Structure formats: C-alpha cells, structure tokens
C-alpha cells in the first residue's frame, strides 16, 4: 500500500496538478450526469429512462463528493460548483455537446463513463487519502453503468445497419479525446505519477484498453490505432474546447439558484 500523501508537503506543480485532476474528474461527472439526464425522457424504453435518471443521480452525487475534496486542500468547493464559466470547466471533451442519439449515449456509457472510471480507479489506488476512502463506493455504483453500457453496446453493434453506423461514428468521435485525457502526459500529470497519486500513463492506458477494447472491436475500431488528440489544454487538463453554455447553466443551477436560500 502506498504511503498516504502529505498534501502540505507538495510542491506547487504537484499541488496545482492535484487540484486540476480533482476538478476534471468532478466536472466530468457533473456533465456526464447532465448528458444522462437528457435521456430520462426519450430513451428506448421506460426502464432505460429510469436507469438514465438513476445514473444521472449517481453522477451528480459523485461530482459532489469529488468537489468536496477541495475542502481538504483549503479551497471552498461552492464557487467551483456554481460560479465558473463554461470556458473554465475541465470536463472531458466528449461531453461538450449533448448526445445526438441513443447510440451516442451508449458509446458514452462505455467509452466516457468507462474512461472516467478507469482514471478514478487509478486515483483510488494512489496516495491521496480522500480518494482512497471515497472513490471505491463510486466505482461500485459505476458497475451498473458499465453493465448497461456493455449490454447496449453489444446489442447495437450486433444489430448492424443504422444502429451500428451511429455507434461506430460516436466511437470514432469520442475516442481520440478520451485517449488523450486518460493518457495525459504533461508536466502536471507526470508530477502526479511521481507523487504516487496516479499510475503512470502506460498503466492508465492499459486499464482503459482492457475496459473498452473488446467493445471498440465490435465496431471495427482497433484501439491501438487511435491517436490521441493533440490539442491539449495544460491549464485545465483536457483537450481544447468547452461544454456548451446551456449545459453549464444547468450545472450551475442558474435559472433557479436565486430562489435558493442557504
């Protein structure tokens, strides 16, 4: 077992990188929840809609737990959750826009939600104590998301025709930015590896490949041949771009927050 990290002893680069990692995970969870919530109505069946609703709740709960980790770093999580502009969000690029169809949601369940979970698993096994204690329960809840994604991905791929075509297109669209994010290798990411917070790049990419490779093969995509997006934003720890404004207004609760009395 890795020795617990002493955050007070971290140098500036490592501390900024740790905050960046927590933020990109929390923001990704929040956006994943929004994308699932879009399919509470309009999913292929009532049961699927209920599952989408439940998964949205899971994701928002996970996001809240991740944002709360900032308290231990001496930062107030409330402005993080409610005061940032879309350009400051560090969520993975595959969640920037709403999902065009159910096949894209299924691809996101496997590739995006799965990719986030593979990085979370690395984080949970690392030296940052709050991740060690809080992330395993998230990962247990994520097993149901993975099961649903796996079943639907296989089913749409086997259906062929338009279903497989849409799934293939979504897979091609999402993979490059996910590979870049999971396999981040900038100075901040390397500092986290050195500090024992995350596994090194190769192990993270191998875990991601173990998790999603069997699925991408179903749509004739060889994961080894997918290049990572090159347009990396080192400040936010994601590829360039930003979530659409409507999603961020929902994430912040703009419309009704004025009514909220704390």
- Which residues of this protein are in contact with another protein, per CB under 8 A? 45-48, 50-51, 53-55, 144, 147-148, 150-152, 155, 159
187 Cβ contact partners less than 8 Å away, ≥ 6 residues apart:
13, 17, 234
Closer residue to another protein (CB): 50 or 235: 50
Assess contact for 173 and 110: CB atoms under 8 A: no
Radius of gyration of the chain (CA): 18
Centroid of chain to Cα 138: 12
| Residue 233, strand partner residues | 238
Q: How far is the CB of 3 from another protein (least distance, A)?
A: 35
Closer residue to another protein (CB): 140 or 261: 140
Q: How far is the CB of 97 from another protein (least distance, A)?
A: 25
Q: How far is the CB of 154 from another protein (least distance, A)?
A: 9
Closer residue to another protein (CB): 19 or 113: 113
Q: How far is the CB of 116 from another protein (least distance, A)?
A: 18
Assess contact for 19 and 75: CB atoms under 8 A: yes
- Which letter, b or e, does each residue of 103-139 get, where b requires 16 or more Cβ atoms within 10 Å of its Cβ? bbbbbbbbbbbbbbbbbbbbbbbbbbebbbeebeebb
Helix then strand count (H, E) for the chain reads 11, 2
Closer residue to another protein (CB): 27 or 142: 142
Q: How far is the CB of 219 from another protein (least distance, A)?
A: 17
With vertex at residue 232, the alpha carbon angle to CA 131 and CA 8, rounded to the nearest 5 degrees, is 35
DSSP assignment, residue 234? T
Closer residue to another protein (CB): 41 or 259: 41
Closer residue to another protein (CB): 158 or 203: 158
Q: How far is the CB of 156 from another protein (least distance, A)?
A: 9
């Amino acid at each position: 077992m890795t020795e617990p990290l002493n955050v007070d002893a971290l140098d500036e680069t490592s501390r900024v990188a740790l905050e960046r990692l927590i933020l990109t995970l929390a923001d990704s969870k929040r956006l994943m929840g929004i994308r699932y919530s879009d399919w509470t109505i309009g999913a292929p069946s009532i049961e699927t809609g209920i599952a989408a609703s439940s998964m949205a709740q899971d994701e928002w709960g996970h996001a809240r737990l991740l944002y709360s980790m900032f308290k231990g770093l001496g930062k107030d999580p409330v402005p993080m959750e409610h005061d940032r502009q879309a350009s400051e969000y560090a969520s993975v690029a595959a969640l920037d826009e709403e999902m065009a169809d159910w096949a894209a949601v299924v691809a996101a369940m496997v590739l995006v939600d799965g990719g986030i979970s593979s990085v979370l698993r690395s984080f949970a096994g690392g030296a940052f104590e709050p991740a060690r204690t809080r992330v395993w329960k998230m990962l247990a809840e994520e097993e149901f998301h993975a099961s649903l994604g796996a079943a639907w991905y296989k089913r749409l791929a086997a259906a062929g025709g338009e279903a497989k075509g849409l799934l293939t297109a979504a897979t091609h669209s999402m993979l490059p930015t996910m590979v870049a994010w999971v396999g981040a290798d900038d100075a901040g990411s390397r500092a986290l590896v050195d500090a024992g917070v995350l596994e090194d790049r190769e192990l993270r990419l191998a875990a991601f490949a173990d998790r999603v490779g069997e699925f991408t093969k179903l749509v004739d995509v060889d994961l080894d041949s997918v290049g990572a997006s090159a347009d990396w934003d080192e400040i936010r720890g994601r590829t360039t771009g930003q979530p659409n404004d409507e999603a961020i207004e929902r994430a912040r609760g703009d419309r009704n927050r004025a009514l909220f009395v704390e």
